[in-house]
Structure 1
Amino acid sequence: MRFRRSAVALVAVMALAGVSACNDSDTGSQNGDESLTKVSYLTSFNTFGREAYAYVAKEKGYFKDAGFDVTINPGSGTVDVLKLVAGGQADYGIGDFTATVITLGKQKLPVTTVGMVHQRSLAAIVALEGGSIKTPQDLPGKRIGDQPGSTNTVMFPLYAKAVGIPPKDTKFVPSPPPGLPALLASGRVDGIGQFVVGVPLVEKADSKKRKAVVLPYGEKLPDLYGNAIITRTDMAKEHPDQVKKFTAALLKGLQDTIDDPAGAAAILKKYVPNTDLQVATEELKLMKPYVKPEGFDGALGEVNPTRVQSIIDSLVDAEQITKGSVTPADVVSTDLAPKG
């Protein structure tokens, strides 16, 4: 099997989305061990604390034990990750599942998901105490900073429908992701699109030390998954055993991460030196109930086909995709996903 080198993936990420994050992910590489299959992997977005599980899997040798030499590069959002994986510039990536369904409902890309990182969506609108947003009903007429095409923006019409507000009455202001917390703190926008685990970073950026006001999409849309593991459809069909091994190794890193957030943050800092240990640790603590929500007793990473169909139906109902444009088989390889 021919895997493209990770350098190509990084160049493509830079070209598509202008990612300027420092790539320290080659630290501690497997020193070119020829017995290992070289694989390139994209995080869902940059190298925040929430992405630590891939670095944990690498540091603890889970990838190596599974037969892989994995190079981790920072992704730049679901849509770009999908395109890079589809084009062969990366072998695996992470992207929001609902945004993936929406994207594949509008354009056919040779990608599939093979497991869930989060059993519940992390997407949210985040504001600050004392501002003009306190509840979802405050959103009409407000300005929300977010990267165009982000999960939060793409999913907003679905959330708006669930809370009973007109989606077009809320204005999304195109804003570079690294500057979103400062943009909110300065009052230039009323809220920002953000994952719930980004709250520690938002609060740290505010000089007035205000608490965040969080409107999680998952509270109103509990069936939505969060991030999913993505690979090419030809990889899934032609090399299913390798896909399963990679997924298992990654999820082993995820389990360790939610078991020991501080330890995972320390590993992330080894690979990404500018990591704020406190912020990364708090992010991972917040992420745990989304990986294994209360009452969830299934296998880590599992996918429920009935739930996938329900998500598709909801997106059709919210006019985010057209009926018949996508089926569960188009977006997930359930036979490769973990099972209890």
Structure 2
Amino acid sequence: MRTLQTLFACWCLAAWIGVAGANASHAGETSHLLAIGLSFDRPINAGEAPAVVAMSDGLFASEGLAVTASTTAGSPEAIARVASGASEFAIVDLNALIRFRSRQSSSPIKAVFVLFNKSPYAIVARKSRGIHVLSDIDGKTLAIAASDLSAWLWPALAHRNGINLAHVKQSTISAAVREPMLSAGQVDAVTGFSYQSAVNLRDRGVPADDLAVLRFADYGCAAYGFAVIVNPDFAAEQPDAVKGFVRALIAGTNLTIR
């Protein structure tokens, strides 16, 4: 999946632009289809490739669904949209859904399909700064973006791997300066997605062989990654539409891989 996401990053954006245009041009042709709102939890990137393929290749339409996608500012916002009924479906971080469901008054939203069977969380570091494996983070400076959900799992991961958090100089930064700060040598490592931060750093001129991508999943973190969630009222009223949505997304995943 990591290779898939990297290879399709630019292609996915182009396809997304094409889908947006197609939605505007052919709205009248889909009047007989069930209108579905799909929220992405971030600006479009290759992680959403299966959904974009399902839209652009008519896989949702073959299931009787007219899917219109929109982006949000993060998983909490996308989950809130599904809870309110503003969107029928969303692709979100499953760990954010768990946190949402832990609230006593939360809507009983469920995940109906796991798109990433492993979390993409990773620590991305510079080997030239002396970091090759996770234990090398001891005594180094680690920057974590304020909106990064991996921040909630990092303490447990450190404990599991015998890392004393008091020995790690941790700072909270904006996601917008995460890769620039690492490429400039202002920090030794950052948290991010294994398939995304490394590509961003390469594009900033950091040699690939200087990057250490330390995936949480490789160091004992069993968390899932992204999943498809559905509004519970919609699921109860339209169970066949939910099944059709998942079938189309699976077909989109297989087509993307091919």
Give the TM-score of the pair, scaled to structure 2: 0.81
2:47 match: secondary structure: helix
For 1:174, the aligned partner's letter is I
| CA deviation profile, 1:190-234 (whole Å, cap 9, x unmatched) | 222211111223222235665321111111236322211112222
| CA deviation profile, 1:31-80 (whole Å, cap 9, x unmatched) | 23211122221224221122211110011100111112112222333222
CA distance in 1 between counterparts of 2:237 and 2:138 reads 48
2:34 is the counterpart of 1:37: yes
For 2:64, the aligned partner's letter is G
Question: Which structure 2 residues correspond to residues 128-139 of structure 1 after superposition, within 5 A?
Answer: 128-139=126-137
Contact persistence 1:99–1:155 (CA under 8 A):
no
Shift of 1:169: 5.3
Contact persistence 1:153–1:172 (CA under 8 A):
no
Shift of 1:167: 4.4
1:190 maps to which residue? Answer: 188
For 1:60, the aligned partner's letter is D
CA distance in 1 between counterparts of 2:205 and 2:224 reads 30
1:237 match: secondary structure: helix
2:227 is the counterpart of 1:233: no
For 1:181, the aligned partner's letter is E
CA distance in 2 between counterparts of 1:107 and 1:166 reads 33
1:161 maps to which residue? Answer: 159
Higher strand share: 2
Contact persistence 1:181–1:206 (CA under 8 A):
no
1:118 match: secondary structure: coil
For 1:163, the aligned partner's letter is N
1:10 maps to which residue? Answer: none
For 1:244, the aligned partner's letter is K
1:322 maps to which residue? Answer: none
2:85 match: secondary structure: coil
1:290 maps to which residue? Answer: none
For 2:186, the aligned partner's letter is R
Q: Residue 208 and residue 117 in structure 1: after superposition, are their counterparts in 2 closer, same or farther (change >3 A)?
A: closer
| CA deviation profile, 1:212-266 (whole Å, cap 9, x unmatched) | 211111112363222111122222233222111111111211121122xxxxxxx
For 2:234, the aligned partner's letter is M
CA distance in 1 between counterparts of 2:230 and 2:166 reads 33
2:8 maps to which residue? Answer: none
Contact persistence 1:98–1:224 (CA under 8 A):
yes
Q: Residue 142 and residue 105 in structure 1: after superposition, are their counterparts in 2 closer, same or farther (change >3 A)?
A: farther
1:74 maps to which residue? Answer: 71
Shift of 1:112: 1.4
Question: Which structure 2 residues correspond to residues 213-228 of structure 1 after superposition, within 5 A?
Answer: 213-221=212-220, 223-228=222-227
32-41 or 159-168: bigger deviation: 159-168
CA distance in 2 between counterparts of 1:108 and 1:219 reads 35
Task: Provide the alpha-carbon RMSD of the alignment.
Answer: 2.4
Contact persistence 2:157–2:221 (CA under 8 A):
no
Query: Where does the alignment leave 5 or more consecutive residues of structure 1 unmatched?
Result: 1-22, 260-340
For 1:187, the aligned partner's letter is G
For 2:21, the aligned partner's letter is T
1:63 maps to which residue? Answer: 60
For 1:213, the aligned partner's letter is A
CA distance in 2 between counterparts of 1:258 and 1:172 reads 38
For 1:221, the aligned partner's letter is G
Question: Which structure 2 residues correspond to residues 109-188 of structure 1 after superposition, within 5 A?
Answer: 109-110=106-107, 111-167=109-165, 170=168, 171-177=170-176, 179-188=177-186
Contact persistence 1:137–1:163 (CA under 8 A):
yes
Give the TM-score of the pair, scaled to structure 1: 0.63
